[in-house]
Structure 1
Amino acid sequence: MSTILTLSIIILFIALMIRVPVFIAILAGTALYFLAAGHANPLLLVQRFVSGLESVPLLAVPFFVCAGVFMNHSGITRRIMTFCAALTAAIWGGLAQVNILLSTLMGGMSGSSLADAAMTAKMLVPEMERRGMSKPFSTVITAFSSTITPLIPPGIGMIIYGATANVSIGQLFMGGISVGLLTCVTMMVMTSWVARRRNYAPLKAADDYVAVPIGKAFLSAAFPLCLPLIVLGGIRLGVFTPTEAGAVAVVYALGLGIAYQELSPSKLSLCLKETVLTTAVIMLIVGAASALAWVLTRERIPQGLTAWMVDAVASKYLFLIIVNIFLLVVGMFIEGNAAMIVLVPLLVPIARAFGIDDIHFAFIFIFNLAIGAITPPLGTLMFVTCGITGCRIRAFLTESIPYFAQMLLCLLLVTFVPQISTWLVDLLYR
């Protein structure tokens, strides 16, 4: 590694740790390389930034972001929440279980964990507190349940990973179903255990949330719940590509909003503004990271790292342990999408050299970064939910210990039982 590249990477990490916006931090380090290296034309920085965005799979990002925003502003979330309450009425934990199941189902529609966390924190946490649950517990449930969103299709992280690693996004969507459900079920079991110890009773039949019979609640939520089936079924049957599926999701969500008479012109304008802002943040990171990835490839860092790792590491299992530890540490300091775009080109070739399945490794990667979103000092989900609910960070971390254990257990299962993430892909595609 050249001295200039080493200095560029040091500047990048320092900028990230002092909370400089992610795309500016990446561009600062990359720009130094292009400006200081006499053999690199500075105009290439702009060229690589733009070319990194010229990817058809990435068109799915604004589409799914837009569909999720429409869902959140058109009353669809409320219908699904009523259905979740009817399903979990008999389970210890009450609205905490509704919170987890709602995040799982909405993750299959919005794809954005931050949007899911913000929405649920505003809608459910005050009601959870009113029913006797502590603020830290309610906040922890909201933040941790939102980590399911990137694991359930159509997670934005899957789209970015697929575009970066040249892996089928359709297969990633299929693999995410079982990984997301595993996380949801284990989290609900953990919540039931905690709820029994604290006497957080199940929702009662007289409760407003479950006054609607389960059949009626299902009929009310039936059309929104069809969206994941339309997206996944259309991709698998070859009716449309993942990118086209995003466009279908937008039209479907918009149609539901109009049909439910809750998507007014003013709300539509707000939705489009939110979509543009969210997409711009993601795309700026993608473009900046694409330029950095070109620099790393030019310096032959992936090739050298692959050769060293294959020689130094005895087995793929040891490699997976090292990768898990490394990504957990990285996720503490770097935003997930940025880490993915920078590190995927480095680690995927090594995983392939060890014979690790692309889909299996993808979910190890995505799961680690999902945990990073709730881990200090960066912990974007932690800060978003605590900022909305007013929970202290220390109280949040104390309350979250059982859920960190649950997430690490799921990570170990995903890492060492590859069939969890690959069985559905093998069944439908191979």
Structure 2
Amino acid sequence: MDEKNQRKRTWERVLSEFTDDLWTEILLRLPIKTLLQFKSVSKSWFSIISSHRFATSHLANAAKDDQILIVRYDIDDYELEDEEDYFSLFHLGSGCTLESLRFPYSQGEYPPHIPYCRLIGSECGIVCVEVSVSRWRATKKDVDIYLWNPATKHSKIIPPHTVVDQRSQMAFGFGFDHVDLDFKVVRMVAAPLSPTVYLAEVYSSNRNTWRKIEPTPTDYPNYNHFDASLHGFLFTIGYCGMIAFDINKEVFISDINLPYSLGDYAYFETRVTEFKDSVATIVSVMYKRKIKLWTLDDEACLCGSGGVEASWTIMQVVHVGVRIQFVEGHFNDVQFLILDEDDDRFLYDSDKKATNVRIPPYFSGHNFFKYRKSLFSLVGFKRIKWDVSYSRQHDSSDSDVEIDE
């Protein structure tokens, strides 16, 4: 017994000499599920694991798979086996669902049937979801916006927006400010009395408020979403060129010229994407068999001063071999998610010169984003509490610590 107590005291003395920096280095090497459990070990560990800087470092050290997507399925058009599959993690390479995610909100907020909702974006493990509430609530607002961490099963509803909207024209974007470690939602609307005047506001998770953006943008997205988040900017295609939103400075840079004249291609066939860590644009000519991809030569045009014109270099001309409507996504620099003339989706690999994986027909267009699990937690996050039967079926082996922050 004395020998056992001696070993215990020796071990306690060794542990007492560990600094927070050393513990951080050890904890960074552990999986997310283990870290969620370790939050309850001590206040010191809770503080370390809950910090944005720890979450950022842990995400940077984690293995990366560009083909894991968070997706929304069109259950209104296709009958799924289980409504739990409404949001899921999907792997492009295998064409298989990896995990069903349920919903980002707790039970009791809406009627039993599923309300209309869509994905706005996914950054650093936090997912932004828009839920239409106009049919269920006696309220002036049309939507609820949730920030959601599927890995930790926590979410929060953000405050209502402040800028009046014209429901027929509204676009959302979601990004992460790596300078201030701040998740932000940008919202653009057309002014109620003038379709050529555009208003915008931005939500900051650090401030937990919306702020009206001045000066107002001079162009408006062709779609109700932003295409890409890269190098501290959100990007989309507008009526007059490419639009960029500086996530840290919270300003718009509009009318960025594209690598072709306005009459060459229809804008709904153009997407902004990433190619070898550069900003790129993809054009799929309607009902043609090829894709063109350009990269931006110099990001100085994004400074907003107006003195630098954007220049582009064509990097790829891909002959797909089938007539296509447009490219829905771009992955691993050589893989294109394509919608063909028969409304079928497939993953095309330009290196192999062949189609790779057929995508299920209920895969909702523009409702999928690259996804990586993370530990990010936001002020106001609460544990999602589903109905008892679902919790018993899906969470019986999940020993995550339930923490409201």
Could you tell me the TM-score, scaled by structure 1's length? 0.19
Higher relative helix content: 1
Rg bigger for which structure? 2
Larger relative strand fraction: 2
